[in-house]
């Protein structure tokens, strides 16, 4: 896994939200499906848009396990199952062929379960907002701000939330994802000269050497 240098990711995100904002200035999106459609029409390549109502409790699965430290500054990470059946974690500060990986062994990695606890919204916080929204629907409809179909969508959606039916999160568990495979697309083996110059300037500016370590977390009893 490789990450962009600081600043570049922000520029990409800012550009995406700028295009979304521009689209919504010209397009009404009174319901979530219409908002999703407007977002997808605002940017190329088409972004994946999904409304998450709950999540798997991923954090709970890793509580008490050894914690990797020294991962703030590296830009390149590699995790590999070695011949000793142990996971080897490797890092490089920069994606340069002349820079060697620093590697440590990460022991005690449990198998990922086929099911996890689910994190749901806190109902005591949601219900008051829910009641207010339900009262507002007739007002928006009579004022012409919601059409018949949109008002029906909101009524059904809010009633569905109020029923508080437990659902399986739409986000898949890692245990059912397809196995990793190499990208078939050709990748350049040599960096463009201008990119290499910019990268070297950034390296000189930061002058930081990362150290990857493994520490055990304290467990409160």
Residue by residue, pLDDT tens for the chain (221 residues) are 676 666 666 777 888 899 999 999 999 999 999 999 999 999 988 988 988 888 888 888 777 777 778 877 788 888 888 888 888 989 888 877 788 888 988 887 777 777 788 887 777 777 888 889 999 999 999 999 899 999 999 999 988 887 766 777 877 777 676 666 555 566 555 566 776 777 777 666 666 677 777 777 666 55
User: What pLDDT is stored for residue 181 in this prediction?
Assistant: 58
User: What pLDDT is stored for residue 150 in this prediction?
Assistant: 94
Q: Return d(Cα 165, Cα 219) in angstroms, integer.
A: 33
Beta bridge partners of 103: 90
User: What pLDDT is stored for residue 186 in this prediction?
Assistant: 61
Would you say the pTM of this structure is higher than 0.75? no
User: What pLDDT is stored for residue 165 in this prediction?
Assistant: 67
Torsion angle of alpha carbons 158, 159, 160, 165, nearest 10°? 120
User: What pLDDT is stored for residue 206 in this prediction?
Assistant: 62
User: What pLDDT is stored for residue 180 in this prediction?
Assistant: 60
User: What pLDDT is stored for residue 110 in this prediction?
Assistant: 73
Inter-residue contact 112 to 100 (CB < 8 Å): no
User: What pLDDT is stored for residue 218 in this prediction?
Assistant: 67
């Amino acid at each position: 896994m490789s990450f962009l240098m600081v600043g570049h990711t922000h520029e990409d995100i800012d550009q995406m939200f700028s295009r979304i904002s521009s689209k919504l200035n010209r397009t009404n999106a009174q319901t979530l499906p219409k908002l999703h459609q407007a977002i997808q029409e605002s940017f190329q390549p088409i972004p994946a848009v999904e409304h998450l109502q709950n999540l798997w409790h991923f954090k709970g699965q890793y509580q008490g396990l050894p914690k990797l430290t020294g991962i703030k500054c590296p830009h390149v990470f590699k995790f590999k199952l070695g011949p000793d059946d142990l996971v080897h974690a490797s890092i490089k500060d920069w994606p340069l062929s002349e820079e060697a990986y620093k590697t440590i062994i990460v022991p005690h990695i449990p198998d990922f379960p086929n099911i996890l606890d689910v994190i749901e919204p806190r109902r005591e916080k949601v219900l008051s907002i829910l009641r207010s929204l339900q009262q507002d629907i007739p007002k928006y409809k009579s004022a012409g701000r919601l059409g018949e179909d949109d008002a029906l969508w909101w009524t059904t959606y809010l009633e569905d939330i109020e029923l508080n039916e437990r659902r399986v999160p739409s986000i898949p568990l890692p245990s059912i994802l397809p196995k990793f495979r190499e990208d078939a697309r050709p990748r350049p083996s040599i960096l463009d000269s201008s990119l290499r110059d910019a990268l070297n300037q950034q390296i000189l500016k930061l002058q930081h050497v990362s150290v990857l370590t493994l520490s055990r977390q304290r467990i409160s009893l």
